[in-house]
A and B are shown apart, each in its own frame.
Chain A
Amino acid sequence: MTFSTRAANWTWTYILRPFLQILLFVLGSAALMSVIAVIVSLIFRTPASRGATLEIDLFEQLLKQLPDTLIDGITIGFLYAVIALGYTMVYGVLKFINFAHSEIFMVGGVIGFEVMIRLRDGSLLTTFPPVLLVILMIVAAMAFSGTLAVVIERFAYRPLRNAPRLVPLISAIGISLFLQDAVRALEGLGRNQFNLAYPTDSVPFLTQRLPIGPTVTISVTAIIIVISAIIMVLGLNYFVNATKIGKGIRAVSQDQATASLMGIDVNQMIAITFLVGGALGGAAGVLFGLKAGNISPFSGFIPGLKAFTAAVLGGIGNITGALLGGILLGLIEAFFSSLLPFFPSFGTSYSDIFAFMILILILIFRPTGLLGQRVDEKV
């Protein structure tokens, strides 16, 4: 095999094929959700509110908002997907729900904020190249969150590995509470506040919106989120499927005892899993901060829960599943929040209930998720 065909093969296996798969997921989910939304809007074409009929054609409204809704849904979806990868990797290896992952994600967001605010305080923010800035923020957050996840695993989970299943979960809840208040105390002491607003105003590039059609625009942050997420997913795919360490991790997730007999250092593989999952969570924190414009010690909880829902929706333990679940959940949420305002008797405040309802419904009717496989217990 010549070098060029090998390179072509490599590109196909690790870049083009997974990329096409992501594209397929995104387009497929978007098309599916659009069709459902169109049907709903045709059924409730004139939504009624407290007896009076509103002068809106829901179908028309939907069509008008469709591009924005899709862009929004896909953006949130990628964000959920990146967080969900952290849950799913740890679950795949340890069969354990890392409840503290939402706080690892939050810490990433805070690190991103710190990088940005320190550059601003040094008056560098306006002159710093924006793309480099985003990369710097993400890398810093990945390094910090990844390390944090490894430290947590070492001290709070590893000693409990053979304990009954619920025990490490309680430890994780403890870590989660601890991290929330620790970050609050640190930021409160340093900055006298803990609701941290990203100084995006100083970087005009980040607040821009680019036109992609006659009436449709897309924000630069959305583009950043989607591109970074795709890069991370491709990187993870390569890491897990092509590298020696990735193979080790997969072996450990299949059977710890056998893997260790084969000379794989199980503890090391688990630590690396936490490192990678935590780093992805940290990166997602920065992306979330850029999108939402701020982060607080308590912003991790709800996105974390939703990302977990995404992981379960796709089939927990399954990396592709996390991606699919994230995108689907993001789109579902975007459609809910674009349609609910037209039903004033319910209102948008009910939208959070739907995320939980989806979680509960999947767990009841298809606990293995969309891409999970069934495994029977050996008795």
Chain B
Amino acid sequence: MLLEVRGVIKKFGGLTAVQNVEYTQEARTICTIIGPNGAGKTTFFNILTGIYKPDGGSVTFGGKNMVGLRPDQINAAGISRTFQNIRLFNSMSVLENIMVGMHSRLRINLFDTIIRTPRFNHQEESVRRKVGDILDFVNLSDKSNEIARNLPYGDQRRLEIGRALASDPKLILLDEPTAGMNPQESVEAMALFRRVRDELGITVLLIEHDMRVVMGISDRITVLDYGQKIAEGSPDEVRREPRVIEAYLGRGSQTDAL
């Protein structure tokens, strides 16, 4: 198991946003978390990446405990992410955004930086090479010098994924990566996620609302509602699960997609 989550709990005041969630994921799979708004999906991501500290439970990644580590340490350990509302470094160029993504893989040394030792120059060169590879992978090589905030929406989404890939993660968490995309763009995005798994060997965990994407790409689906896991399984199993239908139908949202 690459990722093992046991009984995590997160409370905000009186509200329990995530309640005793158990979750495991095999390496080189694409899994999806779905659930109505406010079900605790993003909170779950924030726990995995160390932005929130869980009030209980354990997170084990590659056999190592992740609870209590800072987000940057978790990133270095191999979990990378994107954000629901894109959070790029807006005034930096496409190139620089990806360079920042590589931070945890770099040797940061004040002396080397000021003296510009061969070691430093060598590292900068390899950084540039690798950035080139990533830009090719997310299909942004022709925009490497553009300022991030000037990119069209779809490019910003792909840049954020590229930035997350830059730290050589073993697991990448994508928070609603196809939100706001048209069907054509969603199809392209799905292809990209598959390539992330197949070509780079990176495990993918998505939060997704678009059921075409969810059903089309997921090896397994986990359903959260009110902070609890209410169902889990292959797309077909989840589709037939009565509690899932109830969770969605009961609120009258997104029924057509199911």
Q: Are A376 and B12 interface neighbours, CB within 8 A? A: yes
B51 contacts the other chain (CB 8 A): yes
Residues of B within 8 A of A376 (CB): 12, 52
Residues of A within 8 A of B46 (CB): 379
Alpha-carbon gap, A379 to B83, bound state (A): 8
From residue A215, how far is it (CB to closest CB) to chain B in Å? 51
Alpha-carbon gap, A379 to B42, bound state (A): 8
Residues of A within 8 A of B83 (CB): 379
Alpha-carbon gap, A376 to B83, bound state (A): 17
Residues of A within 8 A of B51 (CB): 379
Q: Which of B65-101 contact A (CB under 8 A)?
A: 83
Interface size class of A (residues with CB under 8 A): under 10
Alpha-carbon gap, A67 to B52, bound state (A): 49
Residues of A within 8 A of B12 (CB): 376
From residue B216, how far is it (CB to closest CB) to chain A in Å? 27
Alpha-carbon gap, A232 to B130, bound state (A): 64
**B1-42 interface bits toward A, Cβ cutoff 8 Å, 1 = contact, 0 = none:** 000000000001000000000000000000000000000001
From residue B73, how far is it (CB to closest CB) to chain A in Å? 17
Q: Which of A339-379 contact B (CB under 8 A)?
A: 376, 379
From residue B77, how far is it (CB to closest CB) to chain A in Å? 19
Q: Which of A48-80 contact B (CB under 8 A)?
A: none
From residue A158, how far is it (CB to closest CB) to chain B in Å? 23
From residue B175, how far is it (CB to closest CB) to chain A in Å? 9
Alpha-carbon gap, A376 to B51, bound state (A): 11
Q: Which residue of A lies closest to B51 (CB)?
A: A379
Alpha-carbon gap, A10 to B46, bound state (A): 47
Q: Which residue of B lies closest to A377 (CB)?
A: B51
Alpha-carbon gap, A379 to B52, bound state (A): 10
From residue B150, how far is it (CB to closest CB) to chain A in Å? 18
Alpha-carbon gap, A376 to B52, bound state (A): 9
Q: Which residue of B lies closest to A373 (CB)?
A: B13
Alpha-carbon gap, A379 to B46, bound state (A): 8
Q: Which residue of A lies closest to B52 (CB)?
A: A376
Q: Which residue of A lies closest to B12 (CB)?
A: A376
Alpha-carbon gap, A376 to B42, bound state (A): 14
From residue B117, how far is it (CB to closest CB) to chain A in Å? 35
From residue A163, how far is it (CB to closest CB) to chain B in Å? 13
Alpha-carbon gap, A149 to B12, bound state (A): 38
**A209-229 interface bits toward B, Cβ cutoff 8 Å, 1 = contact, 0 = none:** 000000000000000000000
Residues of A within 8 A of B52 (CB): 376
**B46-75 interface bits toward A, Cβ cutoff 8 Å, 1 = contact, 0 = none:** 100001100000000000000000000000
Alpha-carbon gap, A376 to B47, bound state (A): 13
Alpha-carbon gap, A376 to B15, bound state (A): 13
Q: Which residue of A lies closest to B84 (CB)?
A: A379
From residue B256, how far is it (CB to closest CB) to chain A in Å? 29
Alpha-carbon gap, A251 to B51, bound state (A): 29
From residue A267, how far is it (CB to closest CB) to chain B in Å? 26
From residue B65, how far is it (CB to closest CB) to chain A in Å? 22
Q: Which residue of B lies closest to A378 (CB)?
A: B42
Residues of B within 8 A of A379 (CB): 42, 46, 51, 83
From residue A165, how far is it (CB to closest CB) to chain B in Å? 15
Alpha-carbon gap, A376 to B46, bound state (A): 12
From residue B204, how far is it (CB to closest CB) to chain A in Å? 20
Alpha-carbon gap, A127 to B42, bound state (A): 72
From residue B11, how far is it (CB to closest CB) to chain A in Å? 11
Alpha-carbon gap, A379 to B71, bound state (A): 13
Q: Which of A98-140 contact B (CB under 8 A)?
A: none
Q: Which residue of B lies closest to A374 (CB)?
A: B13
Alpha-carbon gap, A379 to B175, bound state (A): 11
Alpha-carbon gap, A379 to B87, bound state (A): 10
Alpha-carbon gap, A379 to B49, bound state (A): 11
Alpha-carbon gap, A55 to B52, bound state (A): 58
Q: Which residue of B lies closest to A376 (CB)?
A: B12
Alpha-carbon gap, A376 to B12, bound state (A): 8
Q: Which of B182-196 contact A (CB under 8 A)?
A: none
From residue B72, how far is it (CB to closest CB) to chain A in Å? 15
Alpha-carbon gap, A376 to B13, bound state (A): 10
From residue A83, how far is it (CB to closest CB) to chain B in Å? 32
From residue B146, how far is it (CB to closest CB) to chain A in Å? 22
From residue B83, how far is it (CB to closest CB) to chain A in Å? 7
Q: Which of B97-127 contact A (CB under 8 A)?
A: none
From residue A193, how far is it (CB to closest CB) to chain B in Å? 49
Alpha-carbon gap, A376 to B10, bound state (A): 12
Alpha-carbon gap, A379 to B173, bound state (A): 14
Q: Which residue of A lies closest to B45 (CB)?
A: A379
From residue A162, how far is it (CB to closest CB) to chain B in Å? 14
From residue B99, how far is it (CB to closest CB) to chain A in Å? 22
From residue A120, how far is it (CB to closest CB) to chain B in Å? 58
Q: Which of A219-251 contact B (CB under 8 A)?
A: none
Residues of A within 8 A of B42 (CB): 379
From residue A122, how far is it (CB to closest CB) to chain B in Å? 60
Alpha-carbon gap, A379 to B51, bound state (A): 9
Alpha-carbon gap, A304 to B42, bound state (A): 42
Alpha-carbon gap, A379 to B45, bound state (A): 10
Alpha-carbon gap, A127 to B31, bound state (A): 86
From residue B10, how far is it (CB to closest CB) to chain A in Å? 10
Alpha-carbon gap, A317 to B101, bound state (A): 36
From residue B157, how far is it (CB to closest CB) to chain A in Å? 17
Alpha-carbon gap, A174 to B83, bound state (A): 37
6 CB < 8 A contacts A-B: A376-B12, A376-B52, A379-B42, A379-B46, A379-B51, A379-B83
> Taking beta carbons and an 8 Å cutoff, which residues of A are in contact with B?
376, 379
* Chain A to chain B: the 6 pairs with minimum beta-carbon distance, closest first: A379-B46, A379-B51, A376-B12, A379-B83, A379-B42, A376-B52
> Taking beta carbons and an 8 Å cutoff, which residues of B are in contact with A?
12, 42, 46, 51-52, 83
